[in-house]
């Protein structure tokens, strides 16, 4: 008779070795955190930090009551902001569609040359925030709405392009094969085989991006690219906190409204 295996009296979730590895992992994370914290705060002036609650109370008391009469000056910048978002989305989508078709594995004309270029365009556009695009464009083409529109458009290429090319790659091949079997040319296959399949995704992505763009275009004025952000910047520079609170409330209302519209539209399409 073989010996009876003795089981532990207590159940534990992990083995000894796993627990040790986990513990070392946590220790490494904490050590890394402390190290980063020390580097980050070397130049911090702790007097300002301890003074912050007083500053916060001061700013808070200046922000209420909001100066509601200021809102009459805000309707035109708000209209500009909506235009930046909408026209920017339009431009971005127009540029993103060819990029998406070049980047999708099943529609790209050349997988070795054009596909990597398209993917690089998508990554570059996605990794640079629209505010940075605006900063560059204001320096290049001057302050104003155009810089904002182009910034939003450039930022949208990556987002729309990435989601759209993933949708194109996920299309059902049996439908495209059926179209090919009728003797359709390449463009006809695209038009009748792939486009109808990605249409709902396309509209969903566009409306979603429009919603994000409304959010982002409200602040583009901080770097001079037009819209309601310009008013925000002006009010901040003159320390007119009661106007800042009006602007922030208006931005909040716009964002909530656009989110509601986009949710309704996407719900109707998909």
Partner 1 sequence: MTGTSAPTSWRRPPQIIKDRRWRIAVQIGIVVYLVLAFGSVEVNWIRVYDGLERGQRFIMGFLQPDFSSRWRDISQGLIESLTMTLTSTVVGVAISVPIGIGAARNLAPRWIYYICRSIIAVSRSLQEIIIAIFFVAMFGFGPFAGFLTLSFATIGFIAKLLADDIEEIDETQAEAVRSTGATWWQVVNYAVQPQVMPRLIGLSLYRLDINFRESAVIGIVGAGGIGATLNTAIDRYEYDSAGAILLIIIAIVMVAEYGSSYLRKFLQ
CA distance 199 to 269: 10
Q: How far is the CB of 138 from partner 1 (least distance, A)?
A: 9
Of residues 1 and 126, the one with the C-beta less far from partner 1:
126
CA distance 140 to 98: 26
Q: How far is the CB of 39 from partner 1 (least distance, A)?
A: 5
Q: Is residue 152 within 8 Å of 132, Cβ to Cβ? A: no
Q: How far is the CB of 2 from partner 1 (least distance, A)?
A: 33
CA distance 253 to 256: 5
The distance of Cα 235 from the centroid of its chain, to the nearest Å, equals 26
- Which residues form the interface with partner 1 (CB under 8 A)? 13, 29, 32-33, 36-37, 39-41, 43-45, 48-49, 52, 55-56, 59, 79-80, 83, 86-87, 123-124, 126-129, 131-132, 135-136, 139-142, 144-146, 149, 192, 196, 199-200, 203, 215, 218-219, 222-223, 236, 248, 251-252, 255-256, 269
Of residues 59 and 113, the one with the C-beta less far from partner 1:
59
Contacts of 66 (CB under 8 A, 6+ apart): 242, 243, 245, 246, 249
Given the structure tokens 């040790």, which residue do they identify?
Answer: 20
Q: How far is the CB of 263 from partner 1 (least distance, A)?
A: 14
Of residues 6 and 267, the one with the C-beta less far from partner 1:
267
């Amino acid at each position: 008779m073989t010996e009876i295996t003795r089981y532990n009296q207590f159940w534990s979730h992990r083995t000894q070795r796993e627990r040790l590895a986990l513990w070392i992992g946590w220790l490494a994370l904490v050590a890394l955190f402390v190290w980063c914290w020390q580097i980050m705060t070397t130049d911090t002036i702790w007097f300002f930090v301890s003074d912050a609650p007083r500053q916060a109370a001061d700013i808070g008391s200046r922000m209420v009551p909001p100066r509601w009469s200021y809102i009459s000056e805000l309707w035109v910048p708000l209209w500009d902001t909506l235009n930046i978002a909408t026209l920017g989305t339009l431009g971005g989508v127009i540029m993103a569609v060819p990029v998406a078709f070049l980047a999708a594995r099943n529609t790209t004309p050349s997988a070795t040359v054009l596909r990597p270029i398209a993917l690089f365009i998508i990554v570059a556009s996605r990794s640079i925030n629209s505010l940075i695009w605006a900063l560059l464009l204001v320096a290049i083409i001057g302050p104003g709405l155009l810089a904002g529109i182009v910034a939003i458009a450039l930022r949208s290429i990556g987002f729309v392009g990435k989601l759209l090319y993933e949708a194109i790659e996920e299309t059902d091949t049996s439908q495209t094969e059926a179209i090919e079997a009728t003797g359709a040319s390449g463009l006809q296959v695209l038009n009748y085989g792939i486009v109808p399949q990605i249409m709902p995704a396309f509209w969903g992505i566009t409306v979603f991006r429009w919603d994000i763009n409304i959010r982002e275009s409200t602040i583009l004025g901080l770097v001079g690219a037009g819209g309601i952000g310009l008013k925000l910047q002006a009010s901040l520079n003159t320390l007119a906190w009661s106007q800042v609170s009006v602007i922030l409330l208006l931005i909040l209302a716009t964002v909530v409204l656009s989110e509601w519209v986009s949710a309704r539209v996407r719900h109707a399409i998909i």
